[in-house]
Homo-oligomer: A and B are copies of this chain.
Amino acid sequence: MQAEIISIGDEILIGQTINTNAAWMGEHLNTIGIRVHRTTAIADSKEEIVNMLEEALSRSSLVLITGGLGPTKDDVTKKTLAEYFNMPLEIDAETLERVSTFFRSRGLPVLKVNEDQALMPKGCTVLHNLRGTANGMWFEKDGKVIVSMPGVPYEMEWLMENEVFPRVLDFFKRPSIVHRTILTTGVGESFLADQISAWEDSLEELNIKLAYLPSPGAVKLRMSAYGGGSEVELKSQIEKKERELLEIIGEHVFGFEKDTLASVVGKKLIAEKAMIAVAESCTGGMISHLITDIPGSSSYFLGGLITYNEKIKIAELGVSPELIAEHTVYSEEVALAMASCAVKTFGADYAVSTTGVAGPDDSDGVKVGTIWVAAANKERAVCTKLRLGKSRERNIIMASNAALNLLRKEFLQINR
């Protein structure tokens, strides 16, 4: 069975939008055992859409389309599909009600273009979009499936998870696949590969595939057991292999599946009934953002100080001006003091801190990417010096995660 993706939108072709949707869909289809063999981006053009659809249906059983469903004139996907499948557009009462409520609840009038969002091709399966005003559509033709979804990632992802995947699994009979993702940090891809080489070789006879998924500061290892057994059998094979893996690289493992360093730290703080504070310099709010991105973080996050300016480090955080004068703000001493002062100032149980040069250039003779991260409790503080690259964006996220990881390893005693 072949699947393919069609991304519709001039903005993708001229590079104004990076096609993250195709990557998201490719990744998630893969986890349910469906391989995308082609991804195409085309313009908001009726002719292009029809040609592309015919092409795609000539080789694929599942065609997923995103984009071109907005209310404006350049959005032609819905009209084109309605004509292609010979299904006249009709008002869908449920959608009209939802769209009207959406605008009214925000105190906005319901315009004609908004009402048009409720026009759906008669006979298609309407995939109600509870995250926006443009519905998805499910068409079937000669045993093949065509799905159209809005291009807004947040809406597309919701529709895929809630409306599309269940239907796809039901429509196409798929053999069992079991995945398990193990999250590591603080160690490079090639180093991991070297350490687990023998273990990796042993996966082959069980027909378990291993993928390395690197991101800034972390490498995910995803095992996928394909077919050849029931889900229970595959699961038990994967669990056995996971135990073996943890014996080898357990010290680098910080979590599983969708964990993040911030979520792992958060769970541990909840268990300890402990509170955390943050003092950030070069990471500029990113650590606080990573922590507060998690619903419920208010139960363990007291708050943070972003001390971008030296005088704020002194006046608000309480770092000694003599210490700064002696060591400069770019130093281990100041990172340690920032973490300890944050514990004290916020009345927290733990704190993390960062100081250094995020870049893109060197600063005051300190090389770009030189960043100190520290963690503290009421008694002591520890610090690590990072030597990162020249990308400001990458340095900010890597230093933020390194600070959380330092706290995790030194104080929260989470080995995995």
Q: Chain B residues near A212 (CB, 8 Å)?
A: 70, 72, 74
In the assembled complex, the Cα of A191 lies from the Cα of B108 at a distance in Å of 10
Contacting residues of chain A (11-58) with chain B, CB-CB under 8 angstroms: 11-20, 22-28, 30, 35-43, 48
Asked if A240 lies at the interface with its beta carbon under 8 angstroms from chain B, I say no
The number of times this chain is found in the oligomer is: 2
Is the C-beta of A303 less than 8 angstroms from some C-beta in chain B?
A: yes
If the complex has contacts A297-B308, A304-B306, are A70 and B189 also in contact, measured as CB distance less than 8 A? yes
Q: Are B30 and A194 in contact (CB under 8 A)?
A: no
Task: Tell me whether A382 is interfacial, beta carbon within 8 Å.
Answer: no
| Residues in B whose Cβ lies below 8 Å from that of A189 | 70-72
Tell me which residues from 64 to 108 in chain A have a Cβ below 8 Å from any Cβ of chain B: 70-74, 105-108
Chain B residues near A280 (CB-CB < 8 A): 285, 288
Q: Is A176 interfacial (CB-CB < 8 Å)?
A: no
Q: Is the CB of B19 within 8 A of A23?
A: yes
Is the beta-carbon distance between A295 and B23 smaller than 8 angstroms? no
For chain A, the count of residues having a C-beta within 8 Å of the partner chain is 103
Q: Which residues of B contact A28 (CB under 8 A)?
A: 15
Alpha-carbon distance A253/B303, docked complex (angstroms): 34
Q: How far is the CA of A211 from the CA of B221 in the complex (A)?
A: 40
CB within 8 A of A312: which of B15, B209, B303?
B303
Report the minimum CB–CB distance from A370 to chain B (whole Å): 12
- Flag if B14 contacts A36 (CB, 8 Å): yes
Of the candidates A24, A152, A291, A308, the one having the most CB atoms from chain B within 10 angstroms of its own CB is A308
Given the interface pairs A289-B284, A308-B292, the reply to whether A15 lies near B41 with Cβ below 8 Å is no
Knowing A288-B306, A293-B393, A308-B301, say if A16 contacts B387 (CB, 8 Å): no
